[in-house]
């Protein structure tokens, strides 16, 4: 973590300020985890939880007006399969159909 905190990246510094290195402060919002910067460089957060919970959080973000999401995970190929098999079916049942179609096609 000390290596990443020395980066010039403004985003990396802001992420470190969110949790100040304390593990108990890594969940910055319900199911929004800020611990990615502890294990790799770069700023970022992750929606964490079971597929139903993550789909619910995505729907809440949509209701706030957020209409674009970047889904990524490690390893990339396996996470792409997990999203397709587990998360997309949940999104289809909780989100507007037009939104899910644009996500699946994008």
Q: What is the pLDDT of residues 13-53, one digit of tens each?
A: 777 777 676 677 788 889 998 887 777 766 678 899 999 99
Domain boundary among the residues 48, 64, 85 is at 48
pTM over 0.75: no
Please answer whether residues 40 and 49 qualify as being in contact, where contact means their C-beta atoms are separated by less than 8 angstroms. Answer: no
pLDDT digits (tens, 9 = 90+) for 51-89: 999 999 999 999 999 999 888 877 889 999 999 999 999
Residues 21 and 34 in one domain: yes
Domain count, the chain: 2
Does a structural domain hold residue 106?
A: no
Tokens of 51: 């597929």
Q: Which domain holds residue 56?
A: 49-99
Residues 67, 44 share a domain: no
Q: Which pLDDT score is estimated for 46?
A: 87
Residues 88 and 103: beta-carbon distance below 8 Å = yes
**Do 66 and 82 share a structural domain?**
yes
| pLDDT recorded at residue 29 | 87
Q: Is residue 105 assigned to a domain? A: no
């Amino acid at each position: 973590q000390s290596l990443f905190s020395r980066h010039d990246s403004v985003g990396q510094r802001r992420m470190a300020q969110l949790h100040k290195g304390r593990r108990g402060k890594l969940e910055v919002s319900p199911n929004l985890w800020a611990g990615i910067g502890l294990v790799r460089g770069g700023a970022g957060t992750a929606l964490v939880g079971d597929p139903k919970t993550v789909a619910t959080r995505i729907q809440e973000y949509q209701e706030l007006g957020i209409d674009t999401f970047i889904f990524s995970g490690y390893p990339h190929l396996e996470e792409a399969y997990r999203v397709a098999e587990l998360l997309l079916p949940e999104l289809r049942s909780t989100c507007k159909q037009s939104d899910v179609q644009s996500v699946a096609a994008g």
